[in-house]
């Protein structure tokens, strides 16, 4: 928060986009560390929220083709460890 001691607090939001979550987490920590050093800045949050374990399925396109399974069919028919549909 900028202006914590002023009449009105003005939030600042910095967004970092990318495809690699590990790199994004590292950048978020670096940005938060630099922002915390600035005078007048309070309540810095790096945006990293750990929601629990996840499973990432990356299908092998050649193996899908070998069994005549389209990527869309794989996505629709997949199940998570609880047996529930994970995508539709």
Classify residue 7 by its DSSP letter: S
- Residue 88: the pLDDT is 43
- Residue 7: the pLDDT is 66
Per-residue pLDDT of the chain (88 residues; tens, 9 = 90+): 455 556 677 788 899 889 898 999 999 999 999 999 988 888 899 988 887 777 777 888 898 899 998 888 777 665 544 555 544 4
- Residue 6: the pLDDT is 60
DSSP string, 37-86: TSTTB-------------------HHHHHHTT--HHHHHHH-B-TTS-B-
- Residue 51: the pLDDT is 78
How far apart CA 78 and CA 64 sit, in angstroms, is: 13
Three-state secondary-structure class, residue 63: helix
- Residue 80: the pLDDT is 47
How far apart CA 28 and CA 46 sit, in angstroms, is: 5
- Residue 9: the pLDDT is 73
């Amino acid at each position: 928060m900028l202006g914590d001691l002023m009449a009105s607090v003005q939030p600042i939001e910095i967004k970092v986009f990318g495809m690699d979550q590990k790199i994004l987490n590292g950048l978020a920590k670096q940005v938060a560390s630099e922002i915390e050093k600035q005078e007048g800045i309070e309540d810095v949050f790096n945006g990293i929220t750990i929601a629990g374990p996840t499973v990432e399925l990356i299908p092998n396109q050649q193996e899908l083709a070998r069994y005549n399974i389209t990527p869309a069919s794989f996505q629709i028919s997949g199940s998570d460890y609880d047996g529930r549909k994970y995508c539709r």
